[in-house]
Amino acid sequence: MPSAPLQPSESYQYLNGFNCYHESEAMPDTLPLGRNSPQRPAHGLYTEKLSGTSFTAPRSENQQTWLYRILPSVKHESFEPYLPSEDVHHIENCHMLYRPNQLRWGPTAIGESDWLHSLVPVAGAGDPKLKSGLYIYMYSASKSMPETDAFYSADGDFLIVPQEGALDLTTELGNLLVRPGEIVVVPRGIRFRVAALDELIRGYALELFQGHFQLPELGPIGSNGLANARDFQAPVARFDEDHDGSTTYQVFAKFAGELYFAEQDHTPFDVVAWHGNYYPYKYDLSRFCTINTVSYDHIDPSIFTVLTAPSDHPGTAIADFVVFPPRWAVAENTFRPPWFHRNCMSEFMGLIRGRYDARKGGANGFMPGCASLHNVMAPHGPDVETEQAASWTLDQPEKVGEGGLAFMFESCLMLGSTYNADIGRLRKEYVKESWGGFPVRFKRPRQMQTHPREA
């Protein structure tokens, strides 16, 4: 069942709809009428345009937002390289190993840092300088980012999947509360700060270097189903007022894979009103309207796609975000769990809560906070226990994945993975423990026990 809608509080109010043209003002009479850039904007504000696509992108893809703010964001000191002293799991440590093996990692250890400083690059492909590819991170932190810090990525859009602990995102366009079971997308360039609303925050993030996420086509499903557009929520405008010059703020920028910071003497969260279709948004995964077979066979997991970031080739995604929600399984005379599989795409999986129906739990199993990578053509599928159970289970309706929520980032790219992610977390016995125990069950029919060629 979808969780009850949040009680809107002053700081969490939302505008509903995916890729809509929204407008929002935290003070009345701020947005200009009939033009975007008046000679003297209301209340002494400055006008700033934020482009999320090239000016000339087709209308169907064009994304931009007009901001009306207390100071233009260009008022800052110069950006300097950010070199934290001891942080080995730094966001920049992206040296990739390319491995054909199936990989599983345990949950990230609880760090003492904040969201930004705890981001560990785990897997990825491509190059932000060429605006191609993606990186996948895991984070685990116990502190809020300082109130004087903000972060933006010039490299791409951040899709964040909390696994443990709620996040309070302050963004230039307003606030978002994001709890485990919900996701948030913060597009390229938008400044944000992550506050931890619980003692531990842990989760996953995907940084998309090219294009933006969109809803998948529904084809013959029709005009509703999967993630419905109206369930995506954008923040309403809210602003801080701290411009007397007495406080130093730090804006962290991820640019060409490196982290920089710049100081400024005023808050970056000073947008009083905005209008446009380039904004951060959240989505509650329990609102996903799951579609599946009602007759036979396990349907391709693309049926569970929440958001997709297409490549230039139709139907082939740079990144699909796919969930495996609790659902009824009713297929008859069907092996119901995911089949054994070799894929030309890469599959990165994570577990938000509960169990995933194709992998057993247990100390070394696929537990919440774990991750796995089944790279291009790496064989994978149900583990021995799952396969045995599913081969003999009664052919009757069954609720699968109850209490569980697994997800997958699927990419057409071959993904590297980092040595940093391995430290203390790589499950070396993963392949043997999961799939090493399959017995040979093959038996020739009695009349064919001698092969003709052997006779």
Q: Which of 301, 326, 354, 361 binds ligand OMD (CB under 6 A)?
A: 301
Q: Which is nearer to ligand OMD, 267 or 346 (CB)?
A: 346
The residue among 168, 160, 158, 189 whose CA lies nearest residue 65 is 189
Q: With contact defined as beta carbons under 8 Å apart, do 342 and 319 qualify?
A: no
Query: Distance between CA 189 and CA 168 in Å, rounded?
Result: 19
Q: Select from 294, 289, 305 the least CA-distant residue to 336.
A: 294
Q: How many CB atoms lie within 10 A of CB 226?
A: 19
Question: 38 or 100, CB closer to Fe ion?
Answer: 100
Cβ neighbour number for residue 47 with a 10 Å cutoff: 17
Q: Please tell me whether residue 380 binds ligand OMD under the rule CB under 6 A.
A: yes
Look at residue 358 and give the partner it binds from Fe ion, ligand OMD, none, a contact being a CB closer than 5 to 8 Å depending on partner kind: ligand OMD
Strand, coil or helix: 247: coil
Q: 450 to each of 238, 439, 446, how far by Cα in Å?
A: 79, 22, 9
CB-nearest residue to ligand OMD: 338
Q: Using CA atoms, how far apart are residues 441 and 392, in angstroms rounded to an integer?
A: 14
Are the beta carbons of 12 and 36 closer than 8 angstroms?
A: no
β 281-284/182-186 pair status: antiparallel
- Is the CB of 195 or the CB of 408 nearer to ligand OMD? 408
Residue of 32, 126, 338, 350 that binds ligand OMD (CB under 6 A) = 338
- How far apart CA 61 and CA 26 sit, in angstroms, is 28
Q: Which does 36 bind (CB under 5 to 8 A by kind): Fe ion, ligand OMD, none?
A: none
- The reply to whether 95 sits in an annotated binding site is no
Q: How far apart are CA 123 and CA 97, in angstroms?
A: 9
90 in a known ligand binding site = no
Task: Tell me: is residue 76 an annotated ligand-binding position.
Answer: no
The residue from 131, 243, 341, 353 that contacts ligand OMD (CB under 6 A) is 341
Which positions from 403 through 422 interact with ligand OMD, judged by CB under 6 A? 408
Residue whose entry in the numeric block shows the structure tokens 């619980």: 198
By beta-carbon proximity to Fe ion, the closer residue of 254 and 359 is 359
Contact with ligand OMD (CB under 6 A) among 358, 373, 400, 405? 358
Alpha carbon of residue 134 to chain centroid: 11
Nearer to ligand OMD, 143 or 298 (CB): 298
To ligand OMD, the closest distance from the beta carbon of 341 in angstroms equals 4
Q: Kindly tell me which of 171 and 305 has the beta carbon lying closer to ligand OMD.
A: 305
**C-alpha to C-alpha distance for 335 and 58, rounded to whole angstroms:** 44
Alpha-carbon distance of 406 to 195, in angstroms, equals: 24
Contact yes or no for 183/160 (Cβ under 8 A): yes
Residue 298 annotated to the active site: yes
Contacting positions for Fe ion (CB under 5 A): 341, 343, 347
Q: State the nearest-atom distance from the C-beta of 126 to ligand OMD, in Å.
A: 22
Could you say whether residue 387 binds ligand OMD (CB under 6 A)? no
Of residues 43, 298, 374, 451, which has the active-site annotation?
Answer: 298
341 assigned ligand-binding residue:
yes
The answer to the question of residue 257 lying near ligand OMD (CB under 6 A) is: no
What Cα–Cα distance (Å) separates residue 378 from each residue in 20, 125, 223, 430?
A: 39, 17, 35, 13
Report the nearest approach of ligand OMD to the CB of residue 304 (Å): 7
Q: How far is the CB of 19 from ligand OMD (least distance, A)?
A: 27
Report the binding-site residues.
341, 347, 356, 380
List, as residue ranges, the binding site for Fe cation: 341, 347, 380
Binding residues for homogentisate: 356, 380
Active site residues: 298
Q: Which residues of this protein are in contact with ligand OMD, per CB under 6 A?
A: 301, 338, 341, 347, 358, 374, 380, 408
